[in-house]
Amino acid sequence: MMFRVDRDVLAEAVAWTARSLPARPSVPVLAGMRLEVTEDGQLKLSGFDYEVSAEVTLELQTGEAGVVLVSGRLLAEITRALPAQPVEFVVEGAKAVVTCGSARFTLLTMPVEDYPSLPAMPPAAGRIGSDVFASAVGQVAVAAGKDDTLPMLTGVRVEIEGDTVTLAATDRYRLAVRELKWQPDQPDFSAIAMIPGKTLADTAKALGNTGAEIEIAMSSVGGTGEGMIGFSSAGRRTTTRLLDPEFPKYRSLLPTEFSARADLPTSVFVEAVKRVALVAERNTPVRLAFRGDEVVLEAGSGDEAQAVEVLAVDFEGDDINIAFNHQFLLEGLGAIDSDVARLQMTTSTKPAILTGGKPVDDGGVPDYRYLIMPIRLSS
Protein backbone atom coordinates (compact mmCIF):
# COMPACT_ATOMS: atom_id res chain seq x y z
CA MET A 1 0.00 0.00 0.00
CA MET A 2 1.22 3.49 -0.88
CA PHE A 3 -0.19 6.96 -1.43
CA ARG A 4 1.02 10.52 -1.92
CA VAL A 5 -1.10 13.49 -0.87
CA ASP A 6 -0.87 17.18 0.10
CA ARG A 7 0.17 17.68 3.72
CA ASP A 8 -2.66 20.08 4.65
CA VAL A 9 -5.31 17.82 3.13
CA LEU A 10 -3.98 14.77 4.97
CA ALA A 11 -3.50 16.57 8.31
CA GLU A 12 -7.07 17.90 8.25
CA ALA A 13 -8.52 14.49 7.34
CA VAL A 14 -6.51 12.67 10.02
CA ALA A 15 -7.42 15.25 12.67
CA TRP A 16 -11.12 15.00 11.82
CA THR A 17 -11.09 11.20 11.97
CA ALA A 18 -9.06 11.15 15.20
CA ARG A 19 -11.85 13.08 16.99
CA SER A 20 -13.81 9.86 17.36
CA LEU A 21 -10.96 7.78 18.78
CA PRO A 22 -11.42 6.87 22.46
CA ALA A 23 -9.00 8.41 24.96
CA ARG A 24 -8.90 5.16 26.93
CA PRO A 25 -9.79 2.34 24.53
CA SER A 26 -11.25 -0.84 26.02
CA VAL A 27 -9.00 -2.85 23.68
CA PRO A 28 -5.76 -1.50 22.11
CA VAL A 29 -6.92 -1.97 18.52
CA LEU A 30 -9.64 0.69 19.00
CA ALA A 31 -6.89 3.32 19.32
CA GLY A 32 -6.03 2.63 15.69
CA MET A 33 -6.98 4.55 12.56
CA ARG A 34 -7.76 2.51 9.47
CA LEU A 35 -6.32 3.77 6.18
CA GLU A 36 -7.47 2.18 2.95
CA VAL A 37 -6.48 2.99 -0.63
CA THR A 38 -9.21 1.69 -2.93
CA GLU A 39 -8.84 0.36 -6.47
CA ASP A 40 -10.50 3.50 -7.85
CA GLY A 41 -7.89 5.82 -6.33
CA GLN A 42 -9.56 6.98 -3.11
CA LEU A 43 -8.06 7.16 0.37
CA LYS A 44 -10.46 6.33 3.20
CA LEU A 45 -9.49 7.14 6.79
CA SER A 46 -11.76 5.76 9.48
CA GLY A 47 -12.12 5.28 13.23
CA PHE A 48 -14.73 3.45 15.32
CA ASP A 49 -15.13 2.71 19.04
CA TYR A 50 -18.47 0.83 18.86
CA GLU A 51 -20.30 4.07 19.78
CA VAL A 52 -19.13 6.67 17.26
CA SER A 53 -17.65 6.12 13.79
CA ALA A 54 -15.94 8.66 11.53
CA GLU A 55 -14.75 8.33 7.96
CA VAL A 56 -13.14 10.74 5.50
CA THR A 57 -12.74 10.04 1.79
CA LEU A 58 -10.01 11.79 -0.24
CA GLU A 59 -9.28 11.65 -3.95
CA LEU A 60 -5.69 10.57 -4.73
CA GLN A 61 -3.47 11.33 -7.71
CA THR A 62 -1.00 8.60 -6.74
CA GLY A 63 -1.76 5.46 -4.78
CA GLU A 64 -1.51 1.67 -4.59
CA ALA A 65 -4.44 -0.26 -3.12
CA GLY A 66 -4.19 -1.73 0.37
CA VAL A 67 -5.30 -1.42 3.99
CA VAL A 68 -3.33 -0.61 7.15
CA LEU A 69 -4.08 0.19 10.80
CA VAL A 70 -1.83 2.57 12.76
CA SER A 71 -2.06 4.56 16.00
CA GLY A 72 -4.56 7.31 15.25
CA ARG A 73 -3.47 9.90 17.78
CA LEU A 74 0.22 9.46 16.91
CA LEU A 75 -0.56 9.84 13.20
CA ALA A 76 -2.55 13.00 13.98
CA GLU A 77 0.35 14.49 15.93
CA ILE A 78 2.82 13.62 13.18
CA THR A 79 0.76 14.98 10.28
CA ARG A 80 0.06 18.19 12.19
CA ALA A 81 3.81 18.76 12.69
CA LEU A 82 4.96 17.94 9.13
CA PRO A 83 6.39 20.68 6.86
CA ALA A 84 4.18 22.11 4.09
CA GLN A 85 5.24 19.62 1.42
CA PRO A 86 3.66 16.52 -0.19
CA VAL A 87 3.42 13.50 2.11
CA GLU A 88 4.27 9.96 1.04
CA PHE A 89 2.88 7.04 3.03
CA VAL A 90 4.27 3.56 2.33
CA VAL A 91 3.62 0.26 4.09
CA GLU A 92 6.74 -1.89 4.39
CA GLY A 93 5.98 -5.23 6.04
CA ALA A 94 4.79 -4.61 9.59
CA LYS A 95 5.72 -0.91 9.49
CA ALA A 96 4.34 2.21 7.84
CA VAL A 97 6.76 4.91 6.71
CA VAL A 98 5.66 8.55 6.49
CA THR A 99 7.98 10.83 4.51
CA CYS A 100 7.59 14.59 4.04
CA GLY A 101 10.52 16.68 2.82
CA SER A 102 13.51 15.66 4.90
CA ALA A 103 11.33 14.30 7.75
CA ARG A 104 10.75 10.54 7.97
CA PHE A 105 8.65 8.64 10.53
CA THR A 106 8.26 4.90 10.96
CA LEU A 107 5.09 3.62 12.62
CA LEU A 108 4.25 0.13 13.81
CA THR A 109 1.11 -1.26 12.23
CA MET A 110 -1.69 -2.95 14.17
CA PRO A 111 -3.62 -6.12 13.17
CA VAL A 112 -6.23 -4.70 10.78
CA GLU A 113 -8.20 -7.96 10.82
CA ASP A 114 -9.01 -7.33 14.51
CA TYR A 115 -10.52 -3.92 13.79
CA PRO A 116 -14.35 -3.72 13.85
CA SER A 117 -16.21 -2.98 10.62
CA LEU A 118 -17.78 0.46 10.39
CA PRO A 119 -21.58 0.44 10.73
CA ALA A 120 -23.61 1.12 7.60
CA MET A 121 -25.27 4.51 7.35
CA PRO A 122 -29.00 4.54 8.15
CA PRO A 123 -31.30 5.59 5.28
CA ALA A 124 -30.91 9.20 4.14
CA ALA A 125 -33.66 11.41 5.59
CA GLY A 126 -32.90 14.96 4.43
CA ARG A 127 -30.47 17.88 4.32
CA ILE A 128 -29.70 21.06 6.22
CA GLY A 129 -27.19 23.90 5.88
CA SER A 130 -24.04 23.11 7.86
CA ASP A 131 -23.75 26.60 9.39
CA VAL A 132 -27.40 26.66 10.50
CA PHE A 133 -27.10 23.18 11.98
CA ALA A 134 -23.85 23.94 13.82
CA SER A 135 -25.31 27.14 15.30
CA ALA A 136 -28.54 25.45 16.42
CA VAL A 137 -26.76 22.50 18.04
CA GLY A 138 -24.37 24.84 19.83
CA GLN A 139 -27.30 26.79 21.27
CA VAL A 140 -29.00 23.68 22.66
CA ALA A 141 -26.09 21.43 23.68
CA VAL A 142 -24.99 24.03 26.26
CA ALA A 143 -27.94 22.94 28.44
CA ALA A 144 -27.28 19.19 28.19
CA GLY A 145 -26.33 17.49 31.46
CA LYS A 146 -22.81 16.28 32.23
CA ASP A 147 -23.80 13.63 34.80
CA ASP A 148 -23.42 10.19 33.21
CA THR A 149 -25.50 8.63 35.98
CA LEU A 150 -28.51 10.38 34.36
CA PRO A 151 -27.95 9.44 30.70
CA MET A 152 -31.34 10.75 29.53
CA LEU A 153 -30.21 14.25 30.52
CA THR A 154 -26.83 14.06 28.76
CA GLY A 155 -28.39 13.97 25.31
CA VAL A 156 -30.02 16.33 22.85
CA ARG A 157 -33.54 15.34 21.85
CA VAL A 158 -34.24 15.70 18.14
CA GLU A 159 -37.87 15.81 17.03
CA ILE A 160 -38.68 15.98 13.32
CA GLU A 161 -42.13 16.63 11.89
CA GLY A 162 -42.13 17.33 8.16
CA ASP A 163 -39.81 20.29 7.45
CA THR A 164 -39.46 21.34 11.11
CA VAL A 165 -36.69 20.13 13.42
CA THR A 166 -36.88 20.78 17.17
CA LEU A 167 -33.78 20.36 19.32
CA ALA A 168 -34.07 20.26 23.12
CA ALA A 169 -31.72 19.62 26.05
CA THR A 170 -31.94 20.01 29.81
CA ASP A 171 -29.90 19.32 32.94
CA ARG A 172 -32.88 20.03 35.27
CA TYR A 173 -31.64 23.57 36.03
CA ARG A 174 -32.12 24.99 32.55
CA LEU A 175 -33.74 23.94 29.29
CA ALA A 176 -32.76 25.01 25.77
CA VAL A 177 -35.13 24.60 22.82
CA ARG A 178 -34.43 25.52 19.19
CA GLU A 179 -36.68 25.14 16.16
CA LEU A 180 -35.31 25.25 12.61
CA LYS A 181 -36.23 24.23 9.08
CA TRP A 182 -34.63 21.51 6.99
CA GLN A 183 -35.27 19.75 3.67
CA PRO A 184 -36.71 16.27 4.28
CA ASP A 185 -36.57 13.69 1.48
CA GLN A 186 -40.16 12.77 2.38
CA PRO A 187 -42.52 15.69 3.22
CA ASP A 188 -44.32 13.68 5.91
CA PHE A 189 -41.11 12.40 7.57
CA SER A 190 -41.43 12.00 11.34
CA ALA A 191 -38.74 10.90 13.81
CA ILE A 192 -37.55 11.23 17.40
CA ALA A 193 -33.99 10.57 18.55
CA MET A 194 -31.81 11.17 21.61
CA ILE A 195 -28.23 11.90 20.59
CA PRO A 196 -25.34 12.09 23.10
CA GLY A 197 -24.88 15.84 23.63
CA LYS A 198 -21.09 16.01 23.44
CA THR A 199 -20.96 13.79 20.35
CA LEU A 200 -23.58 15.88 18.55
CA ALA A 201 -21.86 19.16 19.49
CA ASP A 202 -18.47 17.88 18.26
CA THR A 203 -20.00 16.57 15.03
CA ALA A 204 -21.93 19.75 14.27
CA LYS A 205 -18.87 21.90 14.93
CA ALA A 206 -16.63 19.72 12.75
CA LEU A 207 -19.08 19.50 9.84
CA GLY A 208 -20.05 23.16 10.23
CA ASN A 209 -16.64 24.13 8.85
CA THR A 210 -17.25 22.42 5.50
CA GLY A 211 -19.57 25.13 4.15
CA ALA A 212 -21.61 22.41 2.42
CA GLU A 213 -24.99 20.92 3.21
CA ILE A 214 -25.16 18.16 5.81
CA GLU A 215 -27.11 15.03 4.93
CA ILE A 216 -28.84 13.50 7.94
CA ALA A 217 -29.41 9.75 7.86
CA MET A 218 -31.91 8.25 10.29
CA SER A 219 -35.00 6.09 10.40
CA SER A 220 -38.52 7.39 10.71
CA VAL A 221 -40.56 6.33 13.73
CA GLY A 222 -40.82 2.54 13.62
CA GLY A 223 -38.44 2.25 10.66
CA THR A 224 -35.49 -0.10 10.26
CA GLY A 225 -32.07 1.08 11.43
CA GLU A 226 -33.37 2.66 14.62
CA GLY A 227 -30.74 3.12 17.30
CA MET A 228 -28.30 5.02 15.08
CA ILE A 229 -28.04 8.36 13.31
CA GLY A 230 -25.56 9.43 10.63
CA PHE A 231 -24.29 12.74 9.28
CA SER A 232 -22.32 13.28 6.08
CA SER A 233 -20.93 16.31 4.25
CA ALA A 234 -18.12 17.03 1.78
CA GLY A 235 -16.59 13.54 1.82
CA ARG A 236 -16.97 13.10 5.58
CA ARG A 237 -19.41 10.84 7.35
CA THR A 238 -20.02 9.95 10.97
CA THR A 239 -22.47 7.76 12.85
CA THR A 240 -23.38 7.54 16.51
CA ARG A 241 -25.49 5.22 18.61
CA LEU A 242 -28.59 6.81 20.08
CA LEU A 243 -29.58 7.02 23.72
CA ASP A 244 -32.85 5.76 25.13
CA PRO A 245 -35.48 8.21 23.81
CA GLU A 246 -36.96 8.82 27.28
CA PHE A 247 -36.98 12.57 27.99
CA PRO A 248 -38.94 14.97 30.24
CA LYS A 249 -42.16 16.40 28.78
CA TYR A 250 -40.43 19.72 28.31
CA ARG A 251 -43.07 21.65 26.36
CA SER A 252 -45.29 21.91 29.43
CA LEU A 253 -42.36 23.47 31.32
CA LEU A 254 -42.15 26.47 28.99
CA PRO A 255 -44.27 29.30 30.44
CA THR A 256 -46.41 31.26 28.00
CA GLU A 257 -47.52 34.12 30.28
CA PHE A 258 -45.25 36.50 32.17
CA SER A 259 -45.61 39.35 34.64
CA ALA A 260 -42.39 41.14 33.64
CA ARG A 261 -40.21 41.60 30.56
CA ALA A 262 -36.72 43.15 30.39
CA ASP A 263 -34.67 43.96 27.26
CA LEU A 264 -30.95 44.72 27.59
CA PRO A 265 -28.03 44.96 25.15
CA THR A 266 -26.55 41.46 25.31
CA SER A 267 -22.88 42.47 25.42
CA VAL A 268 -23.48 45.03 28.18
CA PHE A 269 -25.46 42.50 30.23
CA VAL A 270 -22.77 39.82 29.80
CA GLU A 271 -19.95 42.10 30.89
CA ALA A 272 -21.87 43.31 33.94
CA VAL A 273 -22.72 39.75 35.04
CA LYS A 274 -19.07 38.74 34.62
CA ARG A 275 -17.88 41.65 36.76
CA VAL A 276 -20.42 41.13 39.54
CA ALA A 277 -19.81 37.36 39.51
CA LEU A 278 -16.16 37.89 40.42
CA VAL A 279 -17.16 37.97 44.09
CA ALA A 280 -19.68 35.12 43.82
CA GLU A 281 -18.67 31.73 45.10
CA ARG A 282 -19.27 28.83 42.75
CA ASN A 283 -22.82 28.10 43.93
CA THR A 284 -23.90 31.54 45.08
CA PRO A 285 -26.22 33.47 42.79
CA VAL A 286 -26.14 36.81 41.06
CA ARG A 287 -29.18 38.79 42.21
CA LEU A 288 -31.14 40.99 39.81
CA ALA A 289 -33.54 43.69 41.05
CA PHE A 290 -35.69 45.21 38.29
CA ARG A 291 -37.17 48.62 39.13
CA GLY A 292 -38.61 50.90 36.48
CA ASP A 293 -35.95 51.64 33.87
CA GLU A 294 -32.99 50.06 35.67
CA VAL A 295 -31.74 46.75 36.99
CA VAL A 296 -29.40 46.39 39.97
CA LEU A 297 -27.02 43.41 39.79
CA GLU A 298 -25.56 42.22 43.09
CA ALA A 299 -23.42 39.36 44.37
CA GLY A 300 -21.91 38.55 47.73
CA SER A 301 -23.37 39.47 51.11
CA GLY A 302 -22.70 39.93 54.78
CA ASP A 303 -19.05 39.41 55.68
CA GLU A 304 -18.09 38.38 52.12
CA ALA A 305 -16.82 40.52 49.28
CA GLN A 306 -19.68 42.31 47.54
CA ALA A 307 -20.32 43.78 44.09
CA VAL A 308 -23.08 46.02 42.78
CA GLU A 309 -23.71 47.36 39.27
CA VAL A 310 -26.66 49.28 37.82
CA LEU A 311 -27.74 49.01 34.17
CA ALA A 312 -30.39 50.82 32.16
CA VAL A 313 -33.13 48.47 30.95
CA ASP A 314 -36.22 48.55 28.77
CA PHE A 315 -38.62 47.08 31.33
CA GLU A 316 -42.35 46.34 31.40
CA GLY A 317 -44.36 44.75 34.19
CA ASP A 318 -44.19 44.34 37.96
CA ASP A 319 -40.98 45.09 39.84
CA ILE A 320 -39.19 41.85 40.61
CA ASN A 321 -36.18 40.50 42.51
CA ILE A 322 -34.75 37.31 41.03
CA ALA A 323 -31.47 35.39 41.32
CA PHE A 324 -29.65 33.01 38.99
CA ASN A 325 -26.57 30.80 38.88
CA HIS A 326 -24.23 33.20 37.11
CA GLN A 327 -22.62 30.50 34.93
CA PHE A 328 -25.99 29.28 33.66
CA LEU A 329 -27.06 32.87 32.98
CA LEU A 330 -23.84 33.62 31.07
CA GLU A 331 -24.11 30.44 29.00
CA GLY A 332 -27.66 31.37 28.04
CA LEU A 333 -26.65 34.89 27.08
CA GLY A 334 -23.83 33.44 24.98
CA ALA A 335 -26.26 31.15 23.15
CA ILE A 336 -29.05 33.55 22.13
CA ASP A 337 -27.15 34.94 19.10
CA SER A 338 -28.72 38.40 19.34
CA ASP A 339 -27.64 41.96 20.11
CA VAL A 340 -30.56 42.30 22.50
CA ALA A 341 -31.34 39.88 25.33
CA ARG A 342 -34.95 39.52 26.45
CA LEU A 343 -35.61 38.12 29.93
CA GLN A 344 -39.24 37.20 30.66
CA MET A 345 -40.22 36.48 34.27
CA THR A 346 -43.29 35.51 36.31
CA THR A 347 -42.15 35.44 39.95
CA SER A 348 -38.82 35.13 41.75
CA THR A 349 -39.31 31.37 42.17
CA LYS A 350 -40.70 30.35 38.76
CA PRO A 351 -38.69 29.66 35.60
CA ALA A 352 -37.61 32.63 33.47
CA ILE A 353 -37.19 32.57 29.70
CA LEU A 354 -34.20 34.11 27.95
CA THR A 355 -34.53 34.82 24.24
CA GLY A 356 -32.89 36.96 21.61
CA GLY A 357 -34.57 40.36 21.18
CA LYS A 358 -38.16 40.60 20.10
CA PRO A 359 -40.21 37.80 18.50
CA VAL A 360 -40.44 37.94 14.72
CA ASP A 361 -44.10 38.92 14.87
CA ASP A 362 -46.40 40.14 17.60
CA GLY A 363 -47.27 37.20 19.78
CA GLY A 364 -44.90 34.94 17.87
CA VAL A 365 -42.63 32.41 19.53
CA PRO A 366 -38.86 32.92 19.12
CA ASP A 367 -37.04 30.05 17.40
CA TYR A 368 -34.70 29.79 20.42
CA ARG A 369 -35.74 29.74 24.08
CA TYR A 370 -33.51 29.22 27.10
CA LEU A 371 -35.42 28.43 30.28
CA ILE A 372 -33.47 29.03 33.48
CA MET A 373 -34.54 28.15 37.00
CA PRO A 374 -34.02 30.92 39.55
CA ILE A 375 -32.28 30.33 42.85
CA ARG A 376 -34.56 31.01 45.80
CA LEU A 377 -33.60 34.21 47.59
CA SER A 378 -33.25 34.00 51.36
CA SER A 379 -35.63 36.44 52.99
Q: Dump pLDDT digits (tens) for 197-239.
A: 999 999 999 888 777 899 999 987 654 446 899 999 999 999 9
Do both 338 and 279 map to the same domain? yes
One-letter amino acid identity for 223? Answer: G
Other beta carbons less than 10 A from residue 259's beta carbon: 14
Is the residue at 65 inside a domain? yes
* Residue 378 resides in a domain: no
Answer yes or no: do 183 and 275 share one domain: no
119 located within any domain: no
What range defines the domain where residue 280 resides?
260-372
Give the end of a domain, one of 79, 110, 141: 110
Residue 276 lies in a domain: yes
Structurally, how many domains does the chain consist of? 3
CA distances from 113 to 45, 67, 141, 276, 334 (A): 16, 10, 37, 58, 46
Asked if residue 216 and residue 188 are part of one domain, the reply reads: yes
| pLDDT per residue as tens digits for the range 21-57 | 988 898 999 999 999 999 999 999 999 999 999 999 9
Q: Do residue 103 and residue 138 come from a single domain?
A: no
Average pLDDT score over the chain? 91
254 in any annotated domain: no
Lowest-pLDDT choice from 256-270, 283-297, 349-363: 349-363
Q: Name the domain boundary from 182, 209, 241.
A: 241
Both 141 and 190 in one domain: the answer is yes
What are 54-91's pLDDT values in tens digits? 999 999 988 899 999 999 999 999 999 999 999 999 99
Phi/psi of residue 167, each to 5°?
-110, 140
- CATH at 325: 3.10.150.10
Q: What is the bridge-based pairing of β-strands 62-64 and 2-5?
A: antiparallel
pLDDT for 370 equals 97
pTM for this model (two decimals): 0.89
Evaluate whether 231 touches 238 at the Cβ level (below 8 Å).
yes
